[in-house]
Amino acid sequence: MAPKPVTSPVSEAWYPTLAVSMIAVGLIITASFFIYEATVSRKNRCLAKELTRGAVASVFLGFGSLFLLLASGVYV
């Protein structure tokens, strides 16, 4: 039996759309994180909210960067 070629689970036509949308969502969540840090006093901050927003923004920006690289022809 011949080996199957490795293919992406996402169609290559979706790479630019995924890159723009994920980076946009990541930047919006990052902005909300900075607004939260600037407006809430130190006594009233919640570590869970900070870690959650930071982690979600990081995931979206990471995958957005990956799809941006793939869309531009840099296969990682």
With 0-12 / 13-18 / 19 or more C-beta atoms within 10 angstroms meaning exposed / middle / buried, residue 16 is middle
pTM: 0.86
Structural domain boundaries of the chain? 13-72
H-helix or E-strand containing 50? helix 47-71
Q: How far is CA 50 from CA 16, 35, 43, 74, in A?
A: 29, 11, 14, 33
Each residue's pLDDT tens digit, 16-57: 999 999 999 999 999 999 999 999 999 999 999 999 999 999
